[in-house]
Structure 1
Amino acid sequence: MIGSLRGTITEKLPPDILLDVNGVGYEIQLPMTSFYQLPDVGAQVSLFTHFVVREDAQLLFGFIERSERSLFRVLIKANGVGPKLACTILSGMSASQFIHSVMHEDITALVKMPGVGKKTAERLVVELKDKLNDIDAPMSAAQLSAPVSDQTQAPVLMPTASAKDEAISALVALGYKRVQAEQSIKAIFNEDASSEQLIRDALKSMV
């Protein structure tokens, strides 16, 4: 099990990064709530990681906070939730907001995540309500009531010509349909925004 990695970010293409660790490049997918907190390309970063081995792929997921990885591990044990859906859920909600939604049986908030229908949301509440007490993800009442996108400051990056396309690709990778992703980006598009900022605003508009 690869539990953590520290290295230099050599590529950032949300929601994925390439992390150089002593000359070995690791492809890592992060929930956007963690991706927003990454430093720029060329900087060092430490990540908590979770390694998934399947018959057709080996996938590495990264997290800035240990509590986010802990929640990810609880999520993928739930019936019908795989690593991709877990990562998508944590891109639309912080760990604290998800825990709050489950504890308060807020089905309305949960079904706004792509791939989470009413039955899945209800199952998550039933299966996870008693399993989240040990996850340390404190948040104030003000934070709990604020949109997820307002809780984490996205890095200020220079816009690129492909920012719009990168943002659309990231939303598709997170489980949104391409048409929905394109419409969401179009609705909030700002030519001066970075791809991370466009993703953040698009997720906010869909939550």
Structure 2
Amino acid sequence: MIGKLKGTIDEIGDDHVVIDVHGVGYVAYCSARTLGKLGSAGEAAVLFIETYVREDQLRLFGFLSALEREWFRLLQSVQGVGAKVALAVLSVLTPGELANAIALQDKTSISRAPGVGPKVAVRIVTELKNKAPAFAGDAAAGIGFKQELGEGAVPAPVADAVSALTNLGYSRDQAANAISAALRNGGEGADSAKLIRLGLRELSQ
């Protein structure tokens, strides 16, 4: 099994990269986000690899971080999600953004990925909501609050404040982050109007 490749970029295609490791070119299929962050031909690159072995093929999937690879595995535990759909999801959302979207039950963000319809998005949110916090990475700090928000377990003023900010055009994730910070900075017990003011102040910084 191949777990990691360290070499030189030989070429980058629409859905894959060829990494030259001591004269051997390995084809690794990657998300659009990963391909966009790799350098150009001739530059050094390191990819975490998931190896798929089938009767008729051996395929490598490449990721910039071990966390992204874990999400690739995790997504495929959901019924109806294969490697192609998992890569599509990781093309539009970082691991942290995906963890937040699941915690917030934000099916719209997940369904932005090509090939992910409403039913699949619902399954991803439902089946992974209890696993997302462990794979939140740099988004771990606020994941508990977002889970409560997604499940409707926060006080009404908090939910109203988040809703107001999303109505102003902010994403649900941005609004949740702002209101979470507002609560920490003296907003405990505040009404929705005060939370909105504090939240907007956070967003303007």
Using structure 2 for the length normalisation, give the TM-score: 0.65
Count of aligned pairs between the two proteins = 146
Q: Does 1:57 align with 2:57?
A: yes
Look up the SS of the partner of 1:138 in the other structure: helix
Q: Does 1:17 align with 2:38?
A: no
Partner of 2:7: 7
Letter in 2 for 1:110: I
Partner of 2:107: 107
Letter in 1 for 2:103: M
Alignment of 1:28-177 (within 5 A): 28-139=28-139, 144-145=173-174
Note the C-alpha offset of 1:57.
Answer: 2.4
- C-alpha distance in 1, partners of 2:132/2:56? 31
Letter in 1 for 2:126: V
Identity of aligned residues (%): 36
- C-alpha distance in 2, partners of 1:117/1:126? 14
Letter in 2 for 1:33: R
- C-alpha distance in 2, partners of 1:21/1:104? 41
| Runs of 4+ deviating beyond 3 Å | 139-146
Look up the SS of the partner of 1:47 in the other structure: strand
- C-alpha distance in 1, partners of 2:106/2:7? 38
- C-alpha distance in 2, partners of 1:110/1:37? 21
- C-alpha distance in 1, partners of 2:73/2:130? 15
- C-alpha distance in 2, partners of 1:56/1:130? 35
Partner of 1:163: none
Contact 2:12 2:35 in 1 (8 A): no
Note the C-alpha offset of 1:47.
Answer: 0.8
Look up the SS of the partner of 2:37 in the other structure: coil
Note the C-alpha offset of 1:136.
Answer: 4.4
| Unmatched runs of 5 consecutive residues or more in structure 2 | 143-169, 176-205
Structure having greater relative contact order (Cα 8 Å, sep ≥ 6): 1
Look up the SS of the partner of 1:99 in the other structure: helix
Question: C-alpha offsets along residues 143-193 of structure 1, whole Å, 9 cap, x if unaligned?
Answer: 9549xxxxxxxxxxxxxxxxxxxxxxxxxxxxxxxxxxxxxxxxxxxxxxx
Look up the SS of the partner of 1:74 in the other structure: helix
Note the C-alpha offset of 1:59.
Answer: 1.3
Look up the SS of the partner of 1:130 in the other structure: coil
Look up the SS of the partner of 2:55 in the other structure: coil
* Structure (1/2) with the larger helix percentage: 2
Look up the SS of the partner of 1:36 in the other structure: helix
Question: C-alpha offsets along residues 84-137 of structure 1, whole Å, 9 cap, x if unaligned?
Answer: 110111011111111111111011212222211111111111111111222142
- C-alpha distance in 1, partners of 2:2/2:28? 12
Letter in 1 for 2:130: D
Contact 2:30 2:87 in 1 (8 A): yes
- C-alpha distance in 2, partners of 1:54/1:145? 42
Note the C-alpha offset of 1:65.
Answer: 1.6
- C-alpha distance in 1, partners of 2:56/2:116? 24
Larger radius of gyration, structure 1 or 2?
2
Cα RMSD, aligned residues only: 2.2
